Each structure stands twice: as C-alpha cells, then as structure tokens.
Amino acid sequence: MSLLHAAHGRRSFLKRTAGALSAGFLTGGALEALPQNVNTNSKPSDLKITDLRIAVLRGVPMTSPLIRIDTNQGIYGLGEVRDGATKNYALELKSRLLGQNPCNVDLLFRRIKQFGGHARQGGGVSGVEVALWDLAGKAYNAPIYQMLGGKFRDRIRIYCDTTESNDPAEFARRLKERMAMGFTWMKMDLGLNLVQRTPDTVTQAAGIAQQYGGLFAEHPMLATEITDKGIGMMCDFVAQVREGVGMSIPISADHFGRIGVNSCIRLGKALTKYNLAWLEDMIPWQETDLLKEISSAVDTPILTGEDIFLKEPFEVLCKAHAVDIIHPDVLTSGGILETKKIGDMAQAYGVPMALHCAHTPIGAMACVHVAAATENFLCLENHAVDVPFWSDLVDGVEKPIVNKGYITVPDKPGLGITLNEAACKQHLVPGEGWFEPTDQWNNVRSNDNLWS
C-alpha cells in the first residue's frame, strides 16, 4: 500500500469514527465506558514519591508494620515489614526514595537492597519493594502479576499451619477440620518438645546453649542428639496422625528443634514410611554441604529458605541440589520481583518453590501475585486461618480471602486491595498511630557507595 493510500485510510477511519459518535452509534453505557479503561489518576512518567509512613498492627497473626508510600499524584502503595522486624528497617530507606519515580521498581530496589539482610533484616527492603509494585500497578492500571509477565494460575493453593497438640488423636481431628474446610495441603510442628519431657529421649549436655556467650548457636554446635526412644515416640505420633487423616493428603513438618545432622538423618529415615511432603529447616540454611548430606541420605524432601535474602544464596543451594524444595518469604527474600527471579532460577535446576507467609493480607497478596506469575510454584502458607478478623483488614477482594483452601488471584490494579481503615485501627499496637508523619527520616545521613 502506498503512503498516500495509507494516509487516506487513516483519515477515512477517523471520519467514520467521528461520524459514528455524532450519529449516536456509541451512546449510553457504551460511550460512558470508553474512559473507564484509562487510568486518569496518574501520569506514570511524572510520578514522584513524597512520603513513607508506617502503621503497626498486632495479632494478624504476628506484629506487622504496614508501609504506605505516598506520591505527588494522590495514589499510594502498600507494603509490609515482615513479622518480628522493626519498622525502622523500612523508615531508614525513606530518604533514599523521596523524589524518585516509584515505577522504576528495579532501579530503586538496587539502590536500597544493600540495607537488607537475611532473616528479619530483609523486611524493610522487601516490604518497600512490595509497596513500589503496588504503586506501579496502580499507575499503569494493571495487576502486579500482569506486569511480571502474566499468570500461570487463577487460584493459589494454601497450606495451613495447625495448632499443635501433644495428643495425636486431637491433632488428627484438627487436621480433619482443615480438610473439611477445603485445604488440600497440611503442615505440622514435629519437634523435640513432643518427647523431651520423657526421660532418655534426648541426649544433651546441661546448659550447653548458654556456653556461647548469649549467641544463638547453630544446630551442629550444640551436640544435641535424639535417641532411638525419642525417634520412636515421634514416629508413633506421626503414625497416629496419618491413621486419622489417611495417606493421600500432603503433610509437611517443621520445628524439629536444634538437633545435630546425624539425628536429622536418623529421624528423616524413620519418617520415610509416612510420606511427609517435606522436612523444613532441619538445620540452618547456610550450611549447604550439611543440607546436602541430609537430603542425600533421606527419602523425604528437604526444604529451606524463609530466612534467605536475595537470589544468590538460593542458587548455591539449588546448584548443589542440597534441598528438594525452596521456601522463600516474599517479605524477606527481596520482594516480589526478586522472588519471581528466585523461582525461575530454581526451575532451571529442577527445584520447585513453596512460599512462606505469616503476614497480613498485604503480604499475603504480594505472595499471591508471585505465586500466580511463577511456573514452578507449589503452595503458599497461610498462618492466619484462625484469625477471625484477618479478611476484614482489607477491601476490594473476594471474602473470605482464603476460601476452600485457595486464594483467588485479584485482577485489580497493583496488589488489588485497599485497607479497611476502621478494621485496621482496632488492631493497632498500643502507642502506635495511624500512618503518622515521619519527617525525621527525610534526610540521608550517610554515603551509600559500596565501592570507591
């Protein structure tokens, strides 16, 4: 087609469109719907961060600082600092964010990630990153999963913790209640606390934990070993639970206690017949060779990862095949995009990904978007099944949020939720205000260069 014909075609199309509008072909609801597909609240290229504020909730299920990042165009982003971390981990980042365009999520993450660290120390960076994605999604009128490349699934499978009981019959009853609610994956604590009150179940030097000067010693340093009697009692507990709920449903196990590598192997081998879905955090994640020793010796999958910050340590574990499943926490690992990268990396090594989550609905929805957008995802934890007001804290999504063992992936911009201010204020930590000013954190007080 010649340029002349092309230009004529465009003019004809515009004339026909204008004529249709003037003639009333697009009237009523159809005409009113035209601007609804355009986000008129924000011009993304001119968006600037003007403030970062915090509100701290308790019992949701843990104590959780919520993050709100404000902008010059009236839209804001929501994030969350991981439970157990101070709100200051997020506030110290404010001075590095003011005046910046929040839609440059990756750039800003690379600016602030040096202030994060493993375990709770990653909570500020990760929570801020979530809030930036929420803002970017609102600015571009798209759900976060769409901005990550789209979704692989419409519903996210939940695995739920269940309040432990020393009575296996009672614990099995509680698991069956979860199954009746629609949950298809369970989790149990299976630790030394079940047996150590019984003599001759655990061998440990008295006071050994205190000899490290108050430091939290790693498991292999404590010379704590479980006896055959202790292993037999723990296996009997699991056997009775399995008898109550059957063998078909996956049951994961966690919180074994700080036992040595040899005890991990002996216990893992003894549990084989009960076909557990995984054994979680048997020893600290950074001991790659020792995790490899355990995973090579037992037939039950080994899992770790909730305390790891950034992709690189996960790759060390996956490349060595030291674990069978990785288990990042979005509010520790570096946030939404970093966790998506972690999952994609793990898939290249044939390793699936579950997600740790003990968060408010803000952190949970961040996990949901990652889970939707990551192909090798297995299941997402929810630690708030027994918190009656949990779903009330936010609006804009289906209620209850966890419904018959799944969370529906929201299709609204950003995280897809708004805060229910009245409900949240009922659960503020005493002495904490509702997103009060934080001007004392406005100024940079250090040189952040990592090299000269």
What's 72's domain CATH number? Answer: 3.30.390.10
pLDDT > 90: percent of the chain:
85
Q: Where are the alpha helices (DSSP H) in 374-432?
A: 421-425
More confident call, 306 vs 37:
306
Q: Is there a domain that residue 49 lies in?
A: yes
Token readout for 157 is: 């499978």
Q: Is residue 66 situated within a structural domain?
A: yes
Sign, Cα dihedral of 395, 361, 312, 319: negative
In a domain, 65, yes or no: yes
Residue tagged 């936010």 (tokens): 394
- Band the pLDDT of 24: cuts 50, 70, 90: very low
pLDDT value for 294: 98
pLDDT of residue 23: 40
Whether the predicted pLDDT of 10 surpasses 80? no
Report yes or no on 388 lying in a domain. Answer: no
In this predicted structure, the answer to whether residue 232 has a pLDDT above a threshold of 90 is: yes
Average pLDDT, the chain: 91
For 62-77, letters b (16+ CB in 10 Å) and e give bbbbbbbbbbebebbb
Domain membership flag for residue 118:
yes
Instruction: Say if 166 falls within a structural domain.
Output: no
Q: How far is CA 305 from the centre of its chain?
A: 11
pLDDT tens for 66-99 read 999 999 999 999 999 999 899 999 999 999 999 9
Structural domain count, the chain: 1
pLDDT at 22: 41
Residue 137 lies in a domain: yes
State the pairing for strand pair 155-161/377-382: parallel
pLDDT band at 4 (very low <50, low <70, confident <90, very high): very low
- 394, part of any domain: no
The pTM of this model reads: 0.89
Q: 129: domain range? A: 44-142+434-441
